[in-house]
Amino acid sequence: MKDITFAELQSIWWAFFWRSAVFGLLIGFILGVIGGATIAVLGHPEWATIIGSAIGFISSIPATMLALRLALRKKYHTFELSMLRF
């Protein structure tokens, strides 16, 4: 088994980073707005920002997991990742 090079590591990191940023922002924004608006409509506008922010933050967890899964499945130009189970 070969060690991973710095260039390969950068490639994997970049694939994960930009996907995390895009998915996190999109999913976090959408769910945060929905959660905040729902709380405001229910009569607690003072809690809307806090609840919307919390929902947006919590939704970033599955978004980054999705980004990691896609980055690990990606077929890179000069290499491919695989998992060995023992």
* 1: pLDDT strictly greater than 80: no
* 62: pLDDT strictly greater than 80: yes
**Considering the domain boundaries, does residue 79 fall inside one?**
no
* 38: pLDDT strictly greater than 80: yes
CA–CA dist 16, 64 (Å, integer): 8
**Considering the domain boundaries, does residue 66 fall inside one?**
yes
How many other C-beta atoms are found inside a 10 Å radius of the C-beta of residue 48? 19
**Considering the domain boundaries, does residue 52 fall inside one?**
yes
Give the pLDDT band (50/70/90) at residue 28: confident
**Considering the domain boundaries, does residue 3 fall inside one?**
no
**Considering the domain boundaries, does residue 82 fall inside one?**
no
**Considering the domain boundaries, does residue 43 fall inside one?**
yes
Place of tokens 């919307």: 52
**Pick from 6-20, 26-40, 61-75: least confident:** 26-40
In this prediction, residues 16-22 reach a mean pLDDT of 95
Boundaries of domain holding 58: 14-73
**Considering the domain boundaries, does residue 8 fall inside one?**
no
**Considering the domain boundaries, does residue 20 fall inside one?**
yes
CA–CA dist 81, 83 (Å, integer): 7
What's the whole-model pTM score?
Answer: 0.77
CA–CA dist 68, 86 (Å, integer): 22
Over the stretch 45-55, which tens digit does the pLDDT of each residue have?
Answer: 888 888 888 88
The number of domains in the chain is 1
How many other C-beta atoms are found inside a 10 Å radius of the C-beta of residue 71? 20
